[in-house]
């Protein structure tokens, strides 16, 4: 599937210069319309406006205003506007963005007309519902045409009479008349009042009213089914509440998906007395529900509130209309709040924070003067988020009721019955009845998070606040799912929740959920910052089928936001053995709890989880949750694994280092860093060098914990290798399986007048330093050393360190040259830049990122996953290691609207999202390392970027030390490659996320590159690929000849073969020879195939020129000679140049012709 | 009809520009052939002894696996070869700097190159040019195999190890050489400086061209520094908030700034709107 999606014709990739793939079509369309518009305009008007040609091929250009425009005297109006933008918003940009967004979500006039006319016709239809004669409630024989009743009729028996009759009134309620209805998913609510003679005053008892309501709806459905003016009809239920089914109508024809009409049946106004539905009263008799007689009748608050909810909508609408007429920006404020909620997946499903609650919240804030009537939508949103962030409705509920009705329940009574309390204007209904405390906490968390980055001028607040979707899998560090929800039924029995089950009318998922959540909360304790759960989506089913059972719901997902310090601890320390809490602790943990004596002398209850390596420890929450849930769900030994699906470390496999011990490389990296620290200490203390060492810095990914496969200490079996002179063994049979890759260390030498001022001489002096450093290290510490002109290899602890001496003035010397007139000219050149990068910038980056790893323990793992993906997709040469590390660092440094990633998996998903969604064309990515950049710096970077966009790299990343150049992305990627990376990242994300959430088994599809876009494949012989064991699909048998197990000796021993990778040699030769004609792609982590792509212009004939005669043959036509690539010979050269390494060359001639 | 083709069209192949095309294959068991173009070296302006005009052959499109040695062997079938020079781009002969030890010569890129082959006799050139087109030159034969691929890389790897004492020796010789060169340079400068000094009677010898050097800054950087210093000085002397018009101007500037920002934002919005960037979902 991926393959087919990614297949693309070469011409589109190369001709299309626009980076942002997804919007191409729109852009071009818009441009066309705009340009045509411009043509209609007269030339002079355009000139007079003095406006720059905005949006020329989708690229921002520096604004140029004429002097006259800039300095003309301002009008009072303009002055006001400018001042307002400056003081209220950060800038006018945010204000304009909000306005645009509102335009985007509001309904068009055309759509409103459509809705109005459809409502009109439905109303007319409804008035003609035929009257039927009285019959028993349980007798449904009059329903024909296959229409079913949208209700689970359990228990079956129900008393009462029923007959169909036309509704006494049909009114529009909800968001549409209020003007707060937003796109997408437009739904218009229509309240259909059931005539009073159909109902009986005592119908509120024992689900009689909800049943009548459902049957009435079925009757309406039956009547409407015959009508041609109505499209598809489906049932659903309001916010997932099975007691409140609704009928969804869509208009016929092509408008069928543009909106839905929701029919609510409701009792005639004032039919039931609201005081009957006090949360502490019982309205479902136990003996009716269970068939067993009991003396106590438990209160049924949820049932009560759902009946009550049916009676009040029109009152609510009146209330809200009154409020919104006072406040001009009310509708817009609600719309913004709705968008905010929707991006966080909070606005739909059971117990959601719906748009209705949003309107009510704003009404509350207005009524208690927290916000004023004159505020703008922007301020309304901000204030409501502020209120949400700092007010805990689970503890202190709020009420909209003004004059307290004597029969209305008090807030305290509401609190005992419900978890979250927000009472409506009538004082009887808790509008948050179904909401769990966890959901409210999530809302609070999101609100306070939003406020945090809102004011931060360095964050694109608008984008983070309203434009970025936050699906659970990308938000939570770990996610787990509860499959097989039927198990919850026995869980209800076990927890003795029969009365609650009755209250929820048999919905065991909703009944058990609060208990599961509180259990998890207790068990996880300090390990998590936030526990969230998915809101079960509203079921929808056709009118011809029965209401779905509770067990057909999709699995419940729970999200954990981990506390990085405590989440991975293997020890759960409980209370002392003799304290009263110990019993509770033992009960929670059951057999896992044991008494332990600690070093400080305490004897306490404790639970110890398994986990040795970081990778295993990261999954401690999984052990814990599995333990808790299984003990809850299963009475007997059932199939435990299928019940709980834990999604936390699914991706770790591809970066696992050892096959024996499960580890994702943290331990190995730590060993390398420790060994390096030791070496650097020893270097500092060396005596006898002509100049002293001023700094020793690591310049290698392994030293910042981000090497995909960190070097593993080796113990060599010397008897295996041929002994050569110089005490260096080179295995002539060349079957190296684990080649130690050298860890680069930069060693700066003191500046002195004795350094020569000549580039060649400096290189010689550096060589001399390498020799003497090597001698000293051998003398004092008995390390085996091998100096060379460019570096010194040191064999230490089974690792190879490559020390490079650097002289800080060398780049300067490289830049200087003397003109013929004797003038000293300083000119920047590539050589100097490369040297500066290797000796200064890379060490600096390494130490900075090393620091970041100390702050965020999973930074390294995310980098490794990201780089493994880039490697697997053959992008390693385009997005280099340093670039990838910086990209990941930006995820941690500027996580808005998320929190910094707490697990490798979520970090990786966000990396893919960043790659695929960032607008590289018009925005610089600012990586604020060490928070050195201020807001002023950000604007400066942005302005510089826009001013010289054309000449800057396509992927522009600014860091505190590099604000204008983007050194790390200067060479690569190119426009075309970046475009492809963006596309592949988007596809990978699209495939990976559902795969993680849905299927039970994971395929590494995203780690397998689609090979069919390439023109030639060079297959390598796997035996000669040294890093084969790192491949995504590693071979079963790994070659590890010449390596012994056991502890590594610290010093001595001959050097192994260092950094000899035939494939890199081969690639370098190929690129040198044929770089003008083709691109070469390779997975550096054990890939066995090199993919070749001809450049688009490779095959066009060129006129014969002596300087362009590269692997070409001449074709003579008349007087002129042209050259074309000699493809046959080139393909042969692929084979010749890789003799011994290449297995076969597979030209895919179906893709190209010469 | 085609004047470019010589009459031996079936044997030699001459193309416009005067080049003769030869075939070259890596070994006999490989079918594919590279086409190399040869021509006698003929450049008007060149007057070096390195490339005598009558005996030098200019060769295009030499595959990367052919080193100087291989080419020498390959072309000695046409007559004794005096020297071979391979370069990435055609051009005049360049003198490299001081001779470096092998450790310090930068690694060459494995590219297709052009070559200048100097034969000992001029007759060899015509021999090459009359070589039939369909008889390829063979690079690697049983007698003189050419290593590519793994074998070559292993060889290179082995060669890359420098013995510390040899390396040290190379460094020492170079540095000695460098020091002597430096000393000579210093000597020369000193002599020049002495010439500028007054003699016993107070006379200074004025020579042409040397006099200007003292006033002219000797590097670009110091040049710029002087200019900057000047402009800073000028700025310091200015009075800032003194006149009313100055105050008015700052206010005007502020509004202009706000306006400019507004325009920028407008542009940004227009762009985003064009890209449908305001669709939240």
Rounded to whole angstroms, the Cα distance separating A1070 from A332 reads 61
Which residues are within 8 A (CB) of B8 and not within 5 positions of it... i.e. 6 or more apart? Answer: B130, B132
Average pLDDT over residues A441-452: 93
CA atoms within 13 A on the CB side of A836: 16
Rounded to whole angstroms, the Cα distance separating B227 from A583 reads 83
Which residues on B lie below 8 Å from A1065 (Cβ)? 153, 156
Contact A482, A634 (CB under 8 A): no
Beta pairing partners, B81:
B119
List the single residue in A63, A82, A466 with the smallest CB-CB distance to B258: A82
Confidence of residue B26 (pLDDT cuts 50, 70, 90): confident
State whether B259 and A69 contact (CB < 8 Å): yes
Quick one: pLDDT at residue A485? 77
For the cut 50, the answer to whether the pLDDT of residue A984 exceeds it is yes
List the single residue in A92, A101, A342 with the smallest CB-CB distance to B265: A92
Cα→Cα distances A88→A81, A251, A379, A388, Å: 10, 43, 9, 21
Rounded to whole angstroms, the Cα distance separating A612 from A609 reads 10
Rounded to whole angstroms, the Cα distance separating A156 from A137 reads 11
Å between B200 CA and nearest CA of chain A: 31
Among A175-184, A261-270, B87-96, the minimum mean pLDDT is found in B87-96
Kindly tell me the burial class for residue A712, based on how many C-beta atoms sit within 10 Å of its own C-beta (0-12, 13-18, 19 or more). middle
Helix then strand then coil, % of chain B, to nearest 5? 40, 15, 45
State whether A70 and B275 contact (CB < 8 Å): no
Look at phi and psi of residue A267 and say left if phi exceeds 0, alpha if psi is from -120 to 50, else beta: beta
Confidence of residue B7 (pLDDT cuts 50, 70, 90): very low
Contact A1126, A1112 (CB under 8 A): yes
Which residues on B lie below 8 Å from A789 (Cβ)? 103-104, 162, 167
Choose from A20, A1136, A1147 for mutation: most chain B CBs within 10 A.
A1136
Å between B198 CA and nearest CA of chain A: 25
Rounded to whole angstroms, the Cα distance separating A444 from A466 reads 16
List the single residue in B61, B160, B278 with the smallest CB-CB distance to A1110: B61
Cα→Cα distances A1031→A1012, A1013, A1027, B241, Å: 20, 21, 7, 70
Secondary structure (3-state) at A769: helix
CA atoms within 13 A on the CB side of B203: 4
State whether A825 and B274 contact (CB < 8 Å): no
The position carrying tokens 């970066």 is A655
Write out pLDDT tens, residues A291-307. 776 667 888 888 888 88
Contact A380, A362 (CB under 8 A): yes
Q: Which of residues 214-253 of B touch A (CB under 8 A)?
A: 216, 218-221, 252
Alpha-carbon torsion (A72, A77, A83, A89), positive or negative: negative
State whether A100 and B278 contact (CB < 8 Å): yes
Confidence of residue A676 (pLDDT cuts 50, 70, 90): very high
Residue among A903, A131, A916, A797 at smallest CA distance from A475: A903
Q: Are strands A571-576 and A603-608 parallel, antiparallel or unpaired?
A: antiparallel
Which residues on B lie below 8 Å from A767 (Cβ)? 103-104, 167, 170-171
CB distance from B90 to chain A under 8 Å? yes
Rounded to whole angstroms, the Cα distance separating B147 from A1069 reads 14
Which residues on A lie below 8 Å from B32 (Cβ)? 1126, 1128-1129, 1131-1132
List the single residue in B97, B168, B281 with the smallest CB-CB distance to A760: B97
Which residues are within 8 A (CB) of A587 and not within 5 positions of it... i.e. 6 or more apart? Answer: none
Rounded to whole angstroms, the Cα distance separating A1135 from A1066 reads 10
Look at phi and psi of residue B82 and say left if phi exceeds 0, alpha if psi is from -120 to 50, else beta: alpha
Quick one: pLDDT at residue A559? 92
Closest residue of chain B to A773, computed from CA coordinates: B164
Rounded to whole angstroms, the Cα distance separating A661 from A305 reads 56
Phi and psi angles of residue B240, each rounded to the nearest 5 degrees, phi first: -95, -70
Quick one: pLDDT at residue A438? 92
A 10 A CB-CB count for A541 gives 17
Above pLDDT 70, what percent of chain A?
87
Quick one: pLDDT at residue A6? 40
Alpha-carbon torsion (A285, A291, A296, A300), positive or negative: negative
Å between A109 CA and nearest CA of chain B: 18
Which residues are within 8 A (CB) of A351 and not within 5 positions of it... i.e. 6 or more apart? Answer: A239, A240, A432, A434, A435, A436, A439, A510, A535
Phi and psi angles of residue A756, each rounded to the nearest 5 degrees, phi first: -70, 160
Closest residue of chain A to B14, computed from CA coordinates: A1116
Average pLDDT over residues A646-671: 77
Closest residue of chain A to B252, computed from CA coordinates: A71
Secondary structure (3-state) at A793: strand
Among A72-86, A181-195, B198-212, the minimum mean pLDDT is found in B198-212
Angle at A166 (CA atoms; ends A162, A172), nearest 5 degrees: 115
Confidence of residue A18 (pLDDT cuts 50, 70, 90): very low
For the cut 50, the answer to whether the pLDDT of residue A12 exceeds it is no
Residue B85 in tokens: 């020079």
For the cut 80, the answer to whether the pLDDT of residue A633 exceeds it is no
Which residues on A lie below 8 Å from B260 (Cβ)? 63, 65, 70
Which residues on A lie below 8 Å from B61 (Cβ)? 1109-1112
CB distance from B2 to chain A under 8 Å? yes
Which residues on B lie below 8 Å from A340 (Cβ)? none
Write out pLDDT tens, residues A769-781. 999 999 999 999 8
Residue among A813, A790, A806 at smallest CA distance from B171: A790
Choose from B149, B182, B214, B253 for mutation: most chain A CBs within 10 A.
B149
State whether A467 and B30 contact (CB < 8 Å): no
Rounded to whole angstroms, the Cα distance separating A76 from B245 reads 21
Closest residue of chain A to B175, computed from CA coordinates: A761
Contact A482, A644 (CB under 8 A): yes
Rounded to whole angstroms, the Cα distance separating B178 from B173 reads 9
CB distance from B69 to chain A under 8 Å? no
Rounded to whole angstroms, the Cα distance separating B141 from A890 reads 57
List the single residue in A23, A771, A1114 with the smallest CB-CB distance to B15: A1114
Cα→Cα distances B197→A654, B191, B204, B268, Å: 76, 10, 6, 67
Phi and psi angles of residue A29, each rounded to the nearest 5 degrees, phi first: -65, -45
State whether A1106 and B265 contact (CB < 8 Å): no
Q: What is the ipTM of this complex?
A: 0.81
Q: Which long-range contacts (CB under 8 A, 24 or more apart) does A844-848 make?
A: A844/A697, A844/A961, A845/A704, A845/A882, A845/A885, A845/A886, A845/A959, A846/A697, A846/A698, A846/A699, A846/A700, A846/A701, A846/A703, A846/A704, A847/A697, A847/A698, A847/A704, A848/A929, A848/A930
Which residues on A lie below 8 Å from B277 (Cβ)? 23, 467, 919
| DSSP letter assigned to residue A549 | P
Q: Are strands B34-40 and A161-162 parallel, antiparallel or unpaired?
A: unpaired
Q: Please name the helix (run of DSSP H) or strand (run of DSSP E) that holds residue A854, with its range, or none.
A: helix A842-855
Q: What is the mean pLDDT of chain A?
A: 82
Angle at A738 (CA atoms; ends A732, A739), nearest 5 degrees: 65
Residue among A125, A26, A115 at smallest CA distance from B278: A26
CA-atom Rg of chain A in angstroms: 36
Rounded to whole angstroms, the Cα distance separating A184 from A335 reads 12
State whether B280 and A104 contact (CB < 8 Å): yes
Quick one: pLDDT at residue A638? 54
Which residues on A lie below 8 Å from B17 (Cβ)? 1104, 1121
Rounded to whole angstroms, the Cα distance separating A383 from A377 reads 10
Angle at A1028 (CA atoms; ends A1026, A1029), nearest 5 degrees: 115
Which residues on A lie below 8 Å from B170 (Cβ)? 764, 767
Choose from B16, B26, B278, B279 for mutation: most chain A CBs within 10 A.
B278
State pTM to two decimals.
Answer: 0.87
For the cut 60, the answer to whether the pLDDT of residue B2 exceeds it is no
For A279-317, the DSSP string reads TTS--S-HHHHHS---S-----HHHHHHHHHHH-HHHHH
Rounded to whole angstroms, the Cα distance separating A661 from A642 reads 26
Closest residue of chain A to B98, computed from CA coordinates: A760
Å between B50 CA and nearest CA of chain A: 21
The position carrying tokens 């036509």 is A1117
List the single residue in A91, A97, A1120 with the smallest CB-CB distance to B16: A1120
Quick one: pLDDT at residue B209? 54
Confidence of residue A360 (pLDDT cuts 50, 70, 90): very high
Strands (E), A822-927: 824-826, 925-926
List the single residue in A97, A1065, A1119 with the smallest CB-CB distance to B16: A1119
Q: What is the mean pLDDT of chain B?
A: 79
Average pLDDT over residues A359-388: 90
Rounded to whole angstroms, the Cα distance separating A667 from B277 reads 44
Q: Which of residues 161-220 of B touch A (CB under 8 A)?
A: 161-164, 167-168, 170-171, 174-175, 178, 182, 213, 216, 218-220
Confidence of residue A637 (pLDDT cuts 50, 70, 90): very low
């Amino acid at each position: 599937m991926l393959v087919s999606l990614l297949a693309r014709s070469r011409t589109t990739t190369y001709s299309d210069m626009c980076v942002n793939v997804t919007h191409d079509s729109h852009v071009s369309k818009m441009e066309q319309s705009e340009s045509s518009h411009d043509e209609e305009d007269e030339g002079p008007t355009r000139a007079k406006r003095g406006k720059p040609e905005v949006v020329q091929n989708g690229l921002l250009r520096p604004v140029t205003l004429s002097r006259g425009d800039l300095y003309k005297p301002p009008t009072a109006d303009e002055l006001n506007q400018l001042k307002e933008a400056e003081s209220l918003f950060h800038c006018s940009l945010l204000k304009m963005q909000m306005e645009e967004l509102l335009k985007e979500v509001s309904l068009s006039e055309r759509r409103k007309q459509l809705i109005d006319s459809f409502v009109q016709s439905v109303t007319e239809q409804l008035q003609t519902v035929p009257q039927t004669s009285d019959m028993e409630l349980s007798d449904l024989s009059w329903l024909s045409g296959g229409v079913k009743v949208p209700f689970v009729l359990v228990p079956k028996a129900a008393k009462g009479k029923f007959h169909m009759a036309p509704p006494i009134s049909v009114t529009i309620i909800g968001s549409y008349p209020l003007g707060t209805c937003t796109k997408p998913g437009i739904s218009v609510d229509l309240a259909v009042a059931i005539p009073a003679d159909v109902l009986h005053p005592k119908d509120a008892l024992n689900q009689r009213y909800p049943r009548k309501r459902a049957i009435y709806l079925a009757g309406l459905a039956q009547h409407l089914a015959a009508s041609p003016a109505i499209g598809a009809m489906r049932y659903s239920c309001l916010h997932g509440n099975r007691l409140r089914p609704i009928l969804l109508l869509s208009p016929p024809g092509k408008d069928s998906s543009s909106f839905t009409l929701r029919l609510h049946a409701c009792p005639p106004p004032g039919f039931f007395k609201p005081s009957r539905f006090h949360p502490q009263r019982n309205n479902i008799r136990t003996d009716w529900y269970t068939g067993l007689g009991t003396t106590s009748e438990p209160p049924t608050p949820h049932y009560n509130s759902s009946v009550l909810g049916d009676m009040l909508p029109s009152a609510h609408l009146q209330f809200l209309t009154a409020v919104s007429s006072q406040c001009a920006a009310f509708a817009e404020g609600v719309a913004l709040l709705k968008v905010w909620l929707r991006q966080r997946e909070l606005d739909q499903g059971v117990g959601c924070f719906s748009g209705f609650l949003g309107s009510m919240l704003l009404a509350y804030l207005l009524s208690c003067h927290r916000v004023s009537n004159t505020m703008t939508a922007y301020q309304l949103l901000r204030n409501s988020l502020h209120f949400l962030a700092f007010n805990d409705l689970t503890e202190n509920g709020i009420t909209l009721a003004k004059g307290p009705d004597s029969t209305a329940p008090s807030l305290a009574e509401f609190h005992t019955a419900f978890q979250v309390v927000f009472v409506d204007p009538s004082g009887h209904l808790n509008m948050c009845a179904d909401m769990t405390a966890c959901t409210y906490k999530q809302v609070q968390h999101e609100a306070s998070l939003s406020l945090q980055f809102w004011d931060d001028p360095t964050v694109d607040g608008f984008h983070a606040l309203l434009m970025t979707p936050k699906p659970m899998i990308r938000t939570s560090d770990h996610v787990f799912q509860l499959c097989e929800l039927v198990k919850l039924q026995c869980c209800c029995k076990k927890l003795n929740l029969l009365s609650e089950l009755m209250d929820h009318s048999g919905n065991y998922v909703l009944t058990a959920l609060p208990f599961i959540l509180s259990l998890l909360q207790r068990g996880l304790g300090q390990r998590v910052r936030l526990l969230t759960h998915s809101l079960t989506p509203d079921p929808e089913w056709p009118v011809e089928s029965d209401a779905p059972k509770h067990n057909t719901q999709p699995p419940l997902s729970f999200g954990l936001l981990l506390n990085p310090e405590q989440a991975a601890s293997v020890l759960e320390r409980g209370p002392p053995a003799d304290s009263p809490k110990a019993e509770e602790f033992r009960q929670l943990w059951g057999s896992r709890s044991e008494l332990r004596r600690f070093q400080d002398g305490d004897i306490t209850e404790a639970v110890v989880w398994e986990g040795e390596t970081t990778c295993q420890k990261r999954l401690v929450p999984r052990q814990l949750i599995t333990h808790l849930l299984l003990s809850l769900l299963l009475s007997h030994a059932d199939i435990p694994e299928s019940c709980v699906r834990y999604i936390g470390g699914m991706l770790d496999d591809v970066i696992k280092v050892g096959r024996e011990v499960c580890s994702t490389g943290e331990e190995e990296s730590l060993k390398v860093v420790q060994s390096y620290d030791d070496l650097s200490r020893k270097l500092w203390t060396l005596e006898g060098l002509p100049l002293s060492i001023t700094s020793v810095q690591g310049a290698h990914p392994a030293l910042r914990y981000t090497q995909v496969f960190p070097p593993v200490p080796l113990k060599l079996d010397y008897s295996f290798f041929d002994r050569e002179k110089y005490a260096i063994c080179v295995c002539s049979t060349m079957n190296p399986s684990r080649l130690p890759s050298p860890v680069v260390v930069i060693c700066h030498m003191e500046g002195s007048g004795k350094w020569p001022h000549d580039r060649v001489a400096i290189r010689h002096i550096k060589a001399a330093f390498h020799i003497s450093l090597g001698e000293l290290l051998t003398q004092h510490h008995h390390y085996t050393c091998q100096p060379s002109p460019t570096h010194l290899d040191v064999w230490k602890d089974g690792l190879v360190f490559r020390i490079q001496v650097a002289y800080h003035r060398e780049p300067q010397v490289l830049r200087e040259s003397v003109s013929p007139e004797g003038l000293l000219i300083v000119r920047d050149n590539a050589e100097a830049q490369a040297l500066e990068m290797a000796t200064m910038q890379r060490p600096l980056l390494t130490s900075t990122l090393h620091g970041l790893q100390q702050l965020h323990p999973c930074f390294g793992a995310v980098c490794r996953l990201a780089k493994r993906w880039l490697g697997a997709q053959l992008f390693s040469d385009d997005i280099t290691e340093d670039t990838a590390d910086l990209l990941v660092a930006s995820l941690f440094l500027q996580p808005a609207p998320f929190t910094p990633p707490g697990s490798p998996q979520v970090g990786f998903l966000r990396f893919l999202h960043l790659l695929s969604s960032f607008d590289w064309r018009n925005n610089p990515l600012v990586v604020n390392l060490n928070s050195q950049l201020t807001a002023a710096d950000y604007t400066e970077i942005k302005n510089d970027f826009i001013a010289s966009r054309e000449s800057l790299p396509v992927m522009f990343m600014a860091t505190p030390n590099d604000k204008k150049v983007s050194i790390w992305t200067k060479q690569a990627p190119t426009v075309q490659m970046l475009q492809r990376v963006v596309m592949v990242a988007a596809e990978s994300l699209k495939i990976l996320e559902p795969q993680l959430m849905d299927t039970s088994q994971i395929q590494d599809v995203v780690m397998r590159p689609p090979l069919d876009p390439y023109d030639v494949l060079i297959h390598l012989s796997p035996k000669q690929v040294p890093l084969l064991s790192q491949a995504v699909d590693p071979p079963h048998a790994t070659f590890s000849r010449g390596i012994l197990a056991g502890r590594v000796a610290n010093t001595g021993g001959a050097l192994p073969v260092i950094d000899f990778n035939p494939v890199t040699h081969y690639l370098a030769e190929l690129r040198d020879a044929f770089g003008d004609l083709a691109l070469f792609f390779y997975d550096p982590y054990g890939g066995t195939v090199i993919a070749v792509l001809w450049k688009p212009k490779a095959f066009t004939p060129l006129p014969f020129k002596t300087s362009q005669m590269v692997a070409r043959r001449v074709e003579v036509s008349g007087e002129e000679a042209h050259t074309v690539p000699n493809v046959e010979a080139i393909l042969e050269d692929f084979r010749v140049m890789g003799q011994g390494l290449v297995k076969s060359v597979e030209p895919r001639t179906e893709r190209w012709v010469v | 009809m085609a004047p470019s083709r010589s009459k031996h069209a079936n044997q030699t192949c001459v193309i416009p520009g005067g080049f003769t095309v030869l075939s070259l294959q890596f070994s006999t068991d490989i079918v594919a052939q590279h086409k190399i173009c040869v021509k006698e070296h003929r450049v008007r302006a060149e007057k070096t002894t390195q490339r005598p005009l009558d005996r030098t052959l200019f060769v295009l499109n030499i595959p990367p696996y052919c080193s100087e040695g291989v080419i020498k062997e390959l072309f000695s079938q046409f007559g004794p070869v005096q020297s071979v020079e391979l370069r990435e781009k055609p051009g005049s002969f360049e003198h490299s700097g001081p001779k470096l030890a092998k450790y310090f010569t930068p690694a060459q890129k494995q590219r297709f190159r052009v070559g200048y082959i100097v034969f000992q006799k001029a007759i060899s050139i015509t021999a090459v040019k009359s070589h039939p087109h369909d008889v390829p030159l063979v690079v690697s034969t049983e007698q003189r195999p050419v290593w590519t691929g793994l074998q070559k890389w292993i060889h290179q790897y082995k060669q890359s190890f420098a013995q510390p004492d040899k390396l040290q020796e190379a460094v020492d010789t170079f540095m000695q050489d460098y020091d002597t060169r430096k000393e000579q340079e210093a000597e020369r400068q000193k002599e020049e400086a002495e010439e500028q000094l007054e003699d016993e009677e107070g006379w200074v010898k004025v020579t042409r061209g040397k006099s200007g050097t003292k006033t002219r800054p000797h590097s670009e950087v110091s040049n710029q520094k002087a200019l900057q210093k000047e402009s800073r000085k000028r700025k310091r002397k200015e009075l800032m908030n003194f006149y009313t018009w100055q105050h008015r101007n700052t206010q005007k500037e502020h509004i202009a700034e706000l306006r400019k920002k507004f325009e920028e934002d407008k542009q940004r919005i227009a762009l985003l709107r064009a890209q449908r960037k305001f669709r939240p979902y």
